[in-house]
């Protein structure tokens, strides 16, 4: 994967498979195989081929920053360690959203500490967005579309949502066969304290606009909605990282074969972000790389999709 990323970055910079091959001292066919392998793994086209060379697709442009960050972080981490800091040590502060943090960050923290026993970690779990320039946080996990900022961001996984219901609900009320059938069902809907509902949208339906769904249970807490769905109250539209294990054990059933995936330049995703230039940058890079390794690609909660 890392070698494929390096090939991708050189092709993106040179705009040519042949120039990239010349720079890498390999055959053009080798470059083509590497890019094809990466596109197959990511399940997207990264380049558009044309008579004047190759250009990044929208997906390729979105992926470019993440690829650059991954390679830069690995290189800087290796350089720092090779320059005398054989065993990284000291404090690393991490912030993450509550549910995601408990389910996926905390286990990664424990495995990271086993790998680097001289490091200490302060982990803060909160759904409030923390300003890294104000509070001393080395790595923050952000879920959603990232605004433009000076933060160094590494994408950990795309944001995939699953429409699910319990076996009891399906047995009593039937199974919707397509998204528009949800209009006839009790849908459990996310709602913020400011009375804003989180809409359900599907790229293939209604030009991607949200459906006017209704339901008897609304909450600003995903865990509460998850429990409601497991108890058979209604249907939920929740992130795959939250429902994957319930699908595996049969507590919930995914209703449609194609999950909702955020796409485009401003797509929501799961990122690790940090401020550049801080003294704990090496440890932050090591932890971000560790998260990428622990989550996998695709992330372990999406491998069944």
Domains detected in the chain: 2-56 (1.10.10.10), 86-158+265-302 (3.40.190.10), 160-261 (3.40.190.10)
Share of the chain above pLDDT 70, in %: 85
* pLDDT at residue number 268: 81
pLDDT in tens, 260-300: 555 444 468 999 999 876 667 888 989 999 999 999 988 99
pLDDT in tens, 128-143: 888 887 778 899 999 9
Q: Model pTM greater than 0.75?
A: no
* pLDDT at residue number 208: 64
The mean pLDDT value for 78-106 works out to: 81
pLDDT in tens, 155-184: 999 999 999 999 999 999 999 998 889 999
**Centroid of chain to Cα 195:** 27
pLDDT in tens, 70-91: 776 676 666 555 555 557 888 9
């Amino acid at each position: 994967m890392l070698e494929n990323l390096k090939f991708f970055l050189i092709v993106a910079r040179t705009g040519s498979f042949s120039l990239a091959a010349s720079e890498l001292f390999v055959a053009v066919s080798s470059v083509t195989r590497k890019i094809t392998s990466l596109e197959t793994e990511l399940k997207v086209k990264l380049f558009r081929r044309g008579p004047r060379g190759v250009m990044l697709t929208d997906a390729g442009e979105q992926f470019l920053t993440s690829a650059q960050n991954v390679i830069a972080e690995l290189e800087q981490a290796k350089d720092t360690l090779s320059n005398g800091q054989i065993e990284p040590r000291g404090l690393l502060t991490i912030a993450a959203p509550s549910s995601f943090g408990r389910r996926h960050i905390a286990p990664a923290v424990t495995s990271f500490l086993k790998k680097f026993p001289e490091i200490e970690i302060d982990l803060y779990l909160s759904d409030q967005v923390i300003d890294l320039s104000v509070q001393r946080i080395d790595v923050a996990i952000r879920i959603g579309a990232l605004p433009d900022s000076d933060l160094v961001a590494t994408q950990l996984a795309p944001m995939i949502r699953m429409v699910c219901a319990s076996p009891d609900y399906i047995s009593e009320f039937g199974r919707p066969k397509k998204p528009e059938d949800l209009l006839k069902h009790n849908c459990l809907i996310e709602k913020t304290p400011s009375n804003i509902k989180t809409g359900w949208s599907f790229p293939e339906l209604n030009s991607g606009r949200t459906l006017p769904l209704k339901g008897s249970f609304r909450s600003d807490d995903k865990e509460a909605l998850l429990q409601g769905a497991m108890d058979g109250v209604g249907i939920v539209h929740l992130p795959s990282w939250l429902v994957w294990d319930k699908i595996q054990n049969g507590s919930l059933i995914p209703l449609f074969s194609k999950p909702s995936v955020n796409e485009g330049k401003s797509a929501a995703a799961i990122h690790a972000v940090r401020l550049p230039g801080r003294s704990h940058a090496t440890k932050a890079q090591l932890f971000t790389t560790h998260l990428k390794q622990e989550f996998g690609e695709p992330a372990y909660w999406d491998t069944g999709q």
